[in-house]
Structure 1
Amino acid sequence: MRIGSNLFHLGILAILGGHLVGLLTPHALYEGFITAPQKQLLAMVAGGAFGVVCLVGITILTVRRLFNPRVRATGTTGDTAILLLLFAQLLLGLYTIVASTHHMDGSVMMMLAEWAQHIVTFRGGAAEFVAPVAWVYKAHIFLGLTLFLLAPFTRLVHVWSIPVSYLWRPYQVVRRRQPALRYGPRA
């Protein structure tokens, strides 16, 4: 659990941070010191490395969730479903790296960045930027937005709490509440 959780969280936090910086930083802010093709290569290498770290971690957590009877008994169907959706999203993200090797000029990365910047700034025409990209990018976007929408209704909501003391706290044992047993004579 400890290895899987730490690897998963290290990988996913680095990946999310890379997505935020890479997609939401306007091109004009970095074009003086890094070109679009160089940025794409950096994203592929860093994203690939942290993606593999995350993949190892989520594989450990998924095997534990599916095959450990104690974990299965205390978890919910929703927990398992979200974990499998995260697994699928990670695999799609890793496959986008393979797809990116076919266009190393940075053009698709720039279209995806324009799409993201249009979305977060509420500008119209965002769909025009992703219309020509390969299916894997569209699937990755769709599943990512689906996870974003599901987060408030699942344990993914812990992403938004960000307590610093969380890094040093002991692991929590989460169990379902059992109905109280009555002892003694019934009234």
Structure 2
Amino acid sequence: MTDYLFFGVFPYVALVVAVGGGVYRYAKERFSFSSLSSQFLENRALFWGSVAWHYGIVLVLLAHLAALLLPASWGRLLGDPLRLAVLEVTGLALGLFTLAGIVVLLFRRIASPKAWAVVTVMDLFLLAVLVLQVGTGLYNAFVYRWGSLWYLSLAVPWLHSLACLNPDIKYIVPLPLPVKVHLFNAFVIFVLFPVTRLVHIVSIPVSYLWRPWQIAVWNKPPRWMIPRK
């Protein structure tokens, strides 16, 4: 019963909250979509943490998405032992790279007095959930080897059953607890999407491509125009 609630019901609740909450926030608080930058408060750690996190997580998510959307092609790719080993090692490296980035971002929020001054409880909670997600993913990759294969044979059919509105949790029930935590926590992130800064991922500035050039006008006159006393 618990497994069905976590993996047969909660995913739909999470998606409804993510979509409904995101639309509501866009309608009522559109200007809160962009991430509140603290770059002026602390720049060095932000740069290294942000680069590692964003590049790493995008590549990891693309690999997950490729297996989900193209399972047959992904299966043929994994059919060769050498390709499988290369993908596994690459995935581990990207996971470590991503974990380093999110840990730096979390440490920056806590250790920098300037960044800490503007941090919120939801900021820390979101970062902790993301650390848990990446950490459990790495743990599963180290302990339960060949994750690319069991993800394709177990998680992908379960996700397809959710998409068909016919959740089939028989693929999830026998999985170890760390794997279940990783899968469940992914949908927790969906729940947090509309109520945290994570919502900024949909605020892509596409309009910048055709927006006219911004003209900056100095308010302060040049030094040579200021009369000397």
Note whether the superposition's TM-score is higher than 0.5: yes
Where in structure 2 are the equivalents of 1:14-53 lying within 5 Å? 14-27=59-72, 29-32=73-76, 34-35=78-79, 41-53=85-97
Identity rate, percent: 31
Q: Corresponding residue for 2:190? A: 148
Where in structure 2 are the equivalents of 1:171-182 lying within 5 Å? none
Where in structure 2 are the equivalents of 1:49-60 lying within 5 Å? 49-60=93-104
Q: 1:2 aligns with which of 39, 42, 47?
A: 47
Task: Answer whether contact 1:24 1:117 (CA < 8 A) is retained.
Answer: no
Q: Corresponding residue for 1:172? A: none
Mapped to 1, the partners of 2:174 and 2:136 lie a distance apart of 18
Q: Does 1:63 align with 2:111?
A: no
Q: 1:91 aligns with which of 135, 145, 158?
A: 135
TM-score scaled by length of structure 1: 0.76
Per-residue deviation, residues 10-62 of structure 1 (Å, max 9, x unmatched)? 111111111111233232x4445542867754553232111111111112111
Mapped to 1, the partners of 2:191 and 2:113 lie a distance apart of 30
Structure having the higher Rg: 2
Asked which structure has the greater RCO (Cα within 8 Å, sep 6+), the reply is: 2
Q: Corresponding residue for 1:74? A: 118
The one-letter code matched in structure 2 to 1:49 is A
Mapped to 1, the partners of 2:156 and 2:80 lie a distance apart of 11
Where in structure 2 are the equivalents of 1:117-128 lying within 5 Å? 117-119=160-162, 121-128=163-170
| Cα 1:43/1:58, change in 2 over 3 Å | same
Equivalent pairs counted in the alignment come to 163
Cα drift, residue 118 of structure 1: 1.8
Per-residue deviation, residues 135-178 of structure 1 (Å, max 9, x unmatched)? 11110011111011111111001122233689xxxxxxxxxxxx
Mapped to 2, the partners of 1:124 and 1:37 lie a distance apart of 34
TM-score scaled by length of structure 2: 0.63
Task: Answer whether contact 1:65 1:72 (CA < 8 A) is retained.
Answer: yes
Task: Answer whether contact 1:8 1:56 (CA < 8 A) is retained.
Answer: yes
Q: Where in structure 2 are there 5+ consecutive unaligned residues?
A: 1-45, 209-229
Mapped to 1, the partners of 2:83 and 2:158 lie a distance apart of 17
The one-letter code matched in structure 1 to 2:62 is G
Structural RMSD (CA): 2.6
| Cα 1:162/1:49, change in 2 over 3 Å | farther
Q: Corresponding residue for 2:177? A: 135
